[in-house]
């Protein structure tokens, strides 16, 4: 419609001029073909329509992407990396026990929300660890250092998080970086999403799950956990110091001390009804119980930036209700927390 109105205005003006010219020629020559003006009107109208369409299409065509507006993505065997054009911070994410970076991105809205708000996101493929040796920690830190250096990522404001066992890895890596004198990234905060950080609690809860006949799937996982911990640390009842040294976090001075000055968040969805009906767990067997105790220990030791965040009805895995999930994290609120802390340092 806009094209047609524009063409009518142009053609009307030209036709009036044409008719004025024709009147002069008729007066001089006495006769002229009547269709001459009609043909001229059609030609002018078609040309005007084409000109209008070209003008509008040129105006609507988006500008080519520039360095300032382009978001970069890098995919490697060890990690996936998203780098926004203007970067405020770096977020490192570790997946659950049997998951990888692709699962993190599929099950969590955190990466996209972070990247959209100027936060580079390094999604690690490192998994299948509840505890780590010193050599394994160094290997992961080396991978992080390589990614930061190779792709020019600003790591002066770095935050680390993980889901389930990924939270265990994240906390262990954060503590190792804080102790390092030449850390490749500067850690400004850490968070764990429903993670079994206290391995002594995990051992006892798994023992309880092995005794529940109605839940065979849980019994299989519980046996695996107990076998792993027995073979590496023994029974916590007789090997307490080994658990204190190996656990990402325990209610013990030496375990808490490295995080006393760092903002720490524990996310959990303590849906006791769901856990009782679907897993047979009591509240005391849940990660929520252990995380609340750890939060209290951090506060008691002087960490006023420690937070215990509970949610309700947010947890879903692959579209199905499950309170043990990445989705319990409010990604927009997490982004605000990261950006706020980044500005303070």
The CATH number for 168's domain is: 3.40.50.1820
How many domains does the chain contain in total?
A: 2
Report pLDDT digits (tens) over 89-124: 999 999 999 999 999 999 999 999 999 999 999 999
- 3 state DSSP class of 159: strand
More confident: 63 or 162: 162
Answer whether residue 210 is part of any domain.
no
Task: Say if residue 49 is in the same domain as residue 99.
Answer: no
Please list the helix, strand and coil fractions of the chain in percent, rounded to the nearest 5, in that order.
Answer: 55, 15, 30
37 shares its domain with 107: no
Q: 45 lies in which domain range?
A: 2-60
Is this prediction's pTM over 0.85? no
Query: Which pLDDT score, from 0 to 100, does residue 215 have?
Result: 83
Determine the pLDDT at residue 68. Answer: 52
Confidence of residue 54 (pLDDT cuts 50, 70, 90): very low
In contact, 153 and 87? CB cutoff 8 Å:
yes
Same domain for 42 and 102: no
Structure tokens at 105: 């991105």
The angle that helices 35-60 and 2-29 make with each other, rounded to 10 degrees, is 150
- Beta bridge mates, 342: none
Flag whether 215 is in a domain: no
CA distances from 289 to 52, 131, 205, 286 (A): 68, 20, 11, 6
pLDDT at residue 9 above 70? no
pLDDT tens by residue, 278-318? 999 999 999 999 999 999 999 999 999 999 999 999 999 99
Is 133 contained in some domain? yes
Same domain for 267 and 292, yes or no, is yes
Question: Does 28 score more than 80 pLDDT?
Answer: no
**For 144-173, what is each residue's pLDDT tens digit?**
999 999 999 999 999 999 999 999 999 999
pLDDT at 201 over 50: yes
At residue 34, the pLDDT reads: 44
End-of-domain residue from the set 60, 80, 106:
60
* Contacts with 152 (C-beta within 8 Å, 6 or more apart), sequence order: none
Phi/psi for 163 (5° steps) reads: -105, 135
């Amino acid at each position: 419609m806009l094209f047609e109105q524009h063409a009518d205005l142009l053609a009307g003006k030209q036709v009036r001029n044409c008719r004025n010219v024709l009147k002069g020629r008729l007066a001089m020559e006495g006769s002229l073909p009547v269709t001459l003006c009609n043909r001229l009107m059609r030609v002018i109208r078609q040309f005007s329509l084409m000109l209008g369409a070209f003008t509008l299409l040129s105006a609507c065509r988006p500008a080519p992407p520039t360095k300032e507006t382009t978001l970069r993505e890098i995919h490697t065997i060890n990690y996936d990396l998203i780098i926004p054009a203007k970067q405020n911070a770096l977020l490192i994410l570790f997946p659950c026990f049997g998951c990888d970076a692709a699962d993190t991105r599929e099950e969590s809205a955190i990466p996209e929300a972070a990247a959209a708000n100027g936060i580079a996101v390094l999604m690690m493929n490192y998994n299948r660890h509840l505890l780590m040796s010193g050599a394994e920690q160094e290997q992961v830190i080396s991978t992080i250092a390589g990614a930061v250096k190779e792709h020019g990522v600003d790591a002066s404001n770095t935050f680390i998080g993980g889901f389930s066992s990924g939270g265990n890895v994240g906390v262990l890596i954060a503590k190792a970086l804080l102790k390092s004198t030449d850390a490749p990234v500067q850690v400004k905060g850490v968070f764990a999403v429903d993670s079994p950080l206290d391995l002594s609690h995990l051992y006892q809860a798994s023992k309880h799950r092995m005794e529940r006949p109605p839940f065979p799937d849980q019994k299989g996982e519980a046996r695996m956990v107990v076998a792993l911990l027995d073979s590496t640390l023994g029974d916590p009842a007789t090997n307490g110091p080994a658990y204190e040294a190996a656990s990402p976090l325990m209610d013990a001075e030496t375990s808490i001390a490295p995080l006393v000055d760092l903002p720490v968040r524990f996310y959990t969805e303590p849906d006791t009804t769901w856990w009782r009906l679907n897993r047979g767990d009591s509240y005391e067997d849940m990660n929520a119980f252990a995380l609340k105790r750890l939060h209290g220990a951090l506060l008691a030791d002087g960490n006023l930036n420690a937070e215990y965040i509970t949610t309700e009805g947010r947890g879903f895995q692959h579209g199905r209700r499950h309170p043990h999930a990445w989705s319990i994290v409010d990604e927009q609120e997490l982004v605000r927390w990261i950006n706020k802390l980044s500005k303070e340092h």
